């Protein structure tokens, strides 16, 4: 939701794969993320939103990205940013949002309760009937002139516009609209989150309606509308032609394991066999994965042997389902290429996606950065670190928020205290 991003690390739900401007979450794990740099139309400068929390007190402070000077009375609230030359702005006394251009001119008057960012000339927005305080927020689509492409209330929900298509929800099921708001793919799919209903390079993973074992996943092709069955019981979003998938049963060595993650292509072919504890979307040709440790496998093997000692062979696999030794958020993390080769060994506590040729990695509780060869280019020294964006990243140094460049040099050192909520 626009306006909700924050400096502190925040978790996304297990098995949730986010889309849009945020980094996708993992299949099989929980991934923290930092807020993005945001822009303000009153100054044209890009700044970072920071927050100080003390008992009974909360304060939001904004700094100029280039000078480090505090910006007084900013017009844009946290979470907003320029896309395609327009930025959501909340200046209306009723708390409504409009859009300003890069010169600070209000080009779309404030009338939305929730604004969205523009993608391919279209933005998803929400409005509410002001005559009813209990009225639900209704989604719609607008163009860059603020004109309705899809009027509010026509559908239960809408996704972000992507690759000429926009997901719409009707009678609890999802379909797709074209740029003119026409229903080009009927509503017959399930999905938990609107931001997962998006095409990436013409591919979108969706769930067929069903109950229990009858639930199945398909890859929908945007150009033909063709469905391809996916061999998995849980599927993440497609990125760079591949999607992370969860398999219920398998082995790591000789140890039966009920939770393994691999990757499939848009044809439904298993490209990388299920073998990882947790897997993320591909970015810049590489994907983060977590692997099982010898301690994990030893614990699972003990549980398996104990649980299956008095069971017939057909029930033996049930012994591998003990979650005592499975935690998808823990375990060594590394990077694989599109063939599944571990090109950067799993020697990190945690990591973020590659962005602008670098990835933030955590080693013994401290964050640094590696390049695509796995070379440490910025030593692990920060308490927290974000991905790079336009040459800068956010880091926490001695409990305070700073902006660093790709050499690790501190460009801006603020006096804002980093707080993990």
Q: What is the pLDDT of residues 63-117, one digit of tens each?
A: 555 565 665 554 443 334 678 888 787 765 677 888 877 666 788 998 999 898 8
With pLDDT > 70 as the criterion, what percentage of the chain qualifies? 70
Report the pLDDT averaged over residues 287-299: 86
Q: Between the ranges 33-42, 157-166, 287-296, where is the mean pLDDT highest?
A: 157-166
What does the pLDDT look like over 42-77, one tens digit per residue? 333 444 444 444 444 445 555 555 565 665 554 443
What does the pLDDT look like over 117-139, one tens digit per residue? 899 999 999 998 766 666 688 99
64 compared with 221, residue with greater pLDDT: 221
User: How far is it, in rounded angstroms, from Cα 370 to Cα 392?
Assistant: 15
Both tokens assigned to 16: 């949730």
Q: How confident is the model at residue 292 (pLDDT cuts 50, 70, 90)?
A: confident
Contact (CB, 8 A) for 316 and 301: no
pTM, to two decimals = 0.72
194 compared with 247, residue with greater pLDDT: 194
**What pLDDT was estimated at residue 6?**
23
Report the pLDDT averaged over residues 268-277: 92
What does the pLDDT look like over 395-421, one tens digit per residue? 889 888 888 999 999 987 877 676 542
List all residues 6 or more positions away from 279 whose beta carbon is below 8 Å from its beta carbon. Answer: 26, 27, 28, 236, 244, 261, 262, 263, 287, 288, 289, 290
Given a cut of 90, whether residue 167 has pLDDT beyond it is: yes
**203, β-bridge pairs:** 200, 221
DSSP result, 128-194: --TT-TTPPPEEEEEETTS-EEE-TTSSSEE---BTTBEEEEETTEEEEE-TTS-EEEEEEEB-S-G
Question: Does residue 40 sit in helix, strand or coil?
Answer: coil
CA 22 to chain centre: 4
Helix, strand, coil: what percent of the chain each, to 5?
Answer: 10, 45, 45
Both tokens assigned to 249: 């049963």
């Amino acid at each position: 939701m626009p306006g909700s991003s924050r400096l502190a690390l925040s978790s996304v739900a297990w098995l949730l794969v986010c889309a849009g401007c945020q980094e996708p979450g993992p299949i099989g794990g929980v991934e923290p993320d930092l807020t993005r740099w945001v822009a303000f139309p009153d100054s044209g400068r890009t700044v970072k939103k920071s927050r100080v929390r003390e008992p009974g007190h909360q304060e939001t402070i904004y700094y100029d990205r280039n000078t480090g000077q505090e910006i007084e009375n900013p017009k844009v609230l946290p979470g907003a940013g320029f896309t395609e030359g327009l930025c959501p702005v909340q200046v209306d006394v009723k708390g409504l949002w409009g859009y300003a251009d890069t010169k600070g001119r209000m080009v779309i008057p404030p009338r939305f309760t929730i604004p969205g960012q523009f993608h391919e000339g279209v933005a998803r927005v929400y409005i509410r009937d002001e005559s009813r305080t209990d009225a639900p927020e209704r989604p719609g689509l607008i163009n860059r002139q603020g004109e309705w492409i899809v009027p509010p209330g026509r559908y239960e929900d809408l996704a972000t516009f992507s690759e000429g298509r926009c997901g719409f929800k009707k009678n609890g099921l999802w379909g797709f609209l074209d740029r003119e708001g026409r229903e080009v793919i009927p509503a017959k799919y399930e999905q938990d989150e609107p931001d997962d209903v998006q095409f990436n390079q013409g591919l979108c993973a969706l769930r067929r309606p069903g109950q229990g074992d009858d639930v199945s996943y398909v890859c929908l092709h945007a150009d033909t509308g063709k469905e391809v069955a996916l061999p998995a019981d849980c599927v993440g979003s497609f990125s760079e032609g591949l999607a992370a998938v969860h398999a219920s049963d398998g082995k790591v060595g000789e140890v039966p394991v009920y939770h393994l993650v691999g990757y499939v292509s848009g044809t439904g072919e298993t490209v990388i066999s299920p073998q990882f504890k947790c897997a993320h979307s591909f970015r810049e040709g590489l994907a983060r994965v977590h692997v099982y440790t010898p301690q994990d496998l030893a614990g699972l093997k003990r549980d398996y042997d104990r649980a299956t000692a008095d069971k017939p062979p057909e029930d033996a696999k049930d012994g591998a389902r003990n979650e005592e030794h499975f935690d998808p958020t823990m375990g060594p993390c590394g990077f694989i290429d599109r063939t599944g080769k571990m090109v950067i060994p799993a020697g990190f506590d945690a990591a973020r996606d590659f962005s602008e040729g670098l990835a933030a990695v955590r080693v013994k509780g401290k964050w640094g950065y590696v390049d695509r060869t796995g070379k440490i280019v910025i030593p692990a020294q920060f308490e927290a670190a974000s991905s790079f964006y336009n040459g800068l990243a956010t880091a926490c140094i001695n409990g305070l928020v700073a902006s660093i460049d790709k050499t690790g040099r501190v460009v801006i050192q603020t006096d804002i205290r980093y707080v993990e909520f």
